[in-house]
Structure 1
Amino acid sequence: MPETTGVESATQRGGTVERIDQATVRASDLPLAQIADPAALALIRRTEGPSYRPPGAAMVFGRDGSVAGHLSSGCIDADIALHAGAVIAGAAPRALRYGRGSPFPDLILPCGGGLDIRILPVTEGAGIAALRAQIASRRPADLWVSTTGTGAAPFPGADLRLRILPDIRFIVFGKGPEAVAFSRMTAGAGYETFLSSPDPETLELAGGGPILPLPFPLRGRPADLPADRHTAVVLFFHDHDHEPAILLGALATEAFYIGAQGSRRTAENRREGLRRMGVDEAGLARLHGPMGLIPSTRDPRMLAVSVLAAVLAEAGAN
């Protein structure tokens, strides 16, 4: 049966070589930090053919009945929850097959593929509490998985190493409908989004809510810019005078994407200005501009979609 869990590696233990699969997921794919008292984990171990969710994606079940995550578009999640409830109540870990080759013919995967899912107990011991804290603080973490349990460090019998990366974060600087449309779109999609603007009307139109305010740096570089290597910094200004200080601050971070709105001529003028300010060619190469996958769009909503698609494509390539 084909496996698509990722790169397989060989690990030497006790004089024997064990095969350990590896997969990389985002924190939202394995939402341990969202459940106060996790008790069971339902994890996609393998996929065959088309799959709605990637190998390593999980649902997390709490002792209080809380649930985070999903493994399908709704076709099997309720059945998985029933099995997870049994594991929480003390039943043995379970290995389930859904879709192609499944013993459950009444549970159909519309995509036509097959899923192997493990349902495992989770305890706060064995470093799991520390792993959950790592995820919540946006630090990469590893979860090791066997047929019977999980751990935050390698243990005998583990056959899968999950690398858990922080979710993508967006920091938006700008003024006007483009900044509003983009901030609403990323926040509405569930991405952590900060918005900084010199314009009160822009902040008001963005509507607050899940969009987090960030003080606007009227002079100098942004202070304490919350940008790690899983952050995208995007600028939406028609008046480009604000840009140099902001871009210098962004380039001082590990942000994986730094981009600014404007035409090709504007982008070249921007690079030349930063070059005169001492930014080297490696720094200039990190700048994206013009932004987006759709060239020369002038509609704020279309620009927002275009830029978001470009950022996510960049994230997937890194």
Structure 2
Amino acid sequence: MLKHPAVGTIEPVRALASSAKPGVLAVITGIEGPSYRPLGATMAILGNGSLVGSLSSGCIEADIALHAAECLQKGQPASIVYGRGSPFADIQLPCGGGLEITLVPNPDQVVLQEVAERSARWQVCILTLDTTSGSLSIEDDGETRRNNAVVMIRFEPETFFYVFGKGPETVSFSGLVQSTGFPALVLSPDEETLMAVAETGCCTRHLTSASFPKDLVLDQFSAVVLFFHDHEWEPPILQRAVATEAFYIGAQGSHRAAAVRLSEMAALGASGSDLERIAGPIGLIPSVRDPRTLAVSVLAEILQKRLS
């Protein structure tokens, strides 16, 4: 569903958009062979010398910062090449490929602020960079790609996780999601679960009935996961979930539990296409019983679905 070469990371853009001092935007604008990061990956070199983001596994960032300082002093955009075809023989890329990095001094903050604001509003935004002039502009739609001297970078909202359930599986999964930096809301009828989840830093909400709150608005960047042992909670929640644009909907349980779940949903009027949207058993690793391993397995499955 979401097929494109790369999705831009918003943190470097946010950092430059809010910086009171001059800075440099560094962008991967060309790739030859294998690469650790994709076309359109960004990094910010701030006026105080700090870096936000990365363009490699750590082998070129310090050198990029040196070139960025020179670029900022001259006030002109510049391109540098690492790996294949590079004049810097002493700097090697472990992947064996080649990277072109375009440096943009004092990038247009108005444009960057608009990109950051659209991201905060959960909107797709395309940042267009002219590698010759360093000028930036915004498009409403498109994919990450290069066309002659122009590079388009697609910024999408991050996956938002709506987690319903109770018990150690809910706590482990929400803790993992929180630790990886994804936004999430955990909804549970169990106060003990909510307290444990809150300690991980996740937002929580108390469920008072087996229902899907009407004020939740899910889009194509949303994932819904259910971790209930009392499976009677599932059909009413899933019935509303399949009516949303969520790209992933799944529920914990065995093959038998999944079959019963689908049968109960069919009795509630769910169509065949609705039932096909519900994953279960969930996770890439079959028959997992440990909550921590299940959490990793399910998160990996969701991210694979998002990027497929």
Q: Which TM bucket (shorter chain)?
A: 0.7 to 0.9
Query: What is the match of residue 110 of structure 1?
Result: 94
Query: Alignment partner of 1:70: what SS?
Result: coil
Greater RCO, 1 or 2 (C-alpha within 8 Å, sep 6+): 2
Distance 1:160 1:306 in 2: 35
The CA deviation string for residues 24-72 of structure 1, in whole angstroms up to 9 with x for no partner, is 31444x6413441374210111222221111111002344555321111
- SS for the counterpart of 2:6 is strand
Change in CA separation of 1:166 and 1:31 when aligned onto 2, cut-off 3 Å: farther
TM-score of the superposition, structure 1-length normalised? 0.84
Query: 162, 176, 186: which is aligned to 1:185?
Result: 176
Q: Is the 8 A contact 2:194 2:205 kept in 1?
A: no
Which residue does 2:7 correspond to in 1? 25
Give the C-alpha shift of residue 77 in structure 1.
1.0
Distance 2:15 2:36 in 1: 21
What residue in structure 1 maps to residue 216 of structure 2? 225
Calculate percent identity across the aligned residue pairs.
Answer: 44
Matches within 5 A, 1:61-140: 61-63=45-47, 65-121=49-105, 122-125=107-110, 127-140=111-124
Query: Is the CA contact (8 Å cut-off) linking 1:24 and 1:165 kept in structure 2?
Result: no
| Structure 1 residue ranges without an equivalent (≥5) | 1-6, 8-21
Cα distance in structure 1, aligned partners of 2:89 and 2:271: 61
Alpha-carbon distance in structure 2 between the residues aligned to 1:139 and 1:235: 26
Amino acid at match of 1:123: D
TM-score, length basis structure 2: 0.87
The aligned counterpart of 1:275 is 266
Q: d(CA) in 2 for partners of 1:153 and 1:90?
A: 29
Further displaced range: 215-224 or 236-245: 215-224
Partner SS state of residue 185, structure 2:
strand
Q: 2:241 aligns to what SS in structure 1?
A: helix
Which consecutive unaligned segments of at least 5 residues does structure 2 have? 141-146
- Specify the code of the residue in structure 2 equivalent to 1:152: I
What SS does structure 2 have at the residue aligned with 1:71? coil
Contact (CA 8 Å) 1:33, 1:135: kept in 2 or not?
Answer: no
C-alpha distance in 2 between matches for 1:212 and 1:24: 29
Task: Give the direction of change, closer, same or farther, for the CA distance of 1:288–1:219 in structure 2 (3 Å limit).
Answer: closer
8 A Cα contact 2:197 2:204, kept in partner:
no
SS at match of 1:152: strand
**Matching residue within 159, 162, 180 for 2:153:** 162
Worse-matched range after superposition: 206-215 or 193-202: 206-215
CA distance in 2, matches of 1:34, 1:219: 42
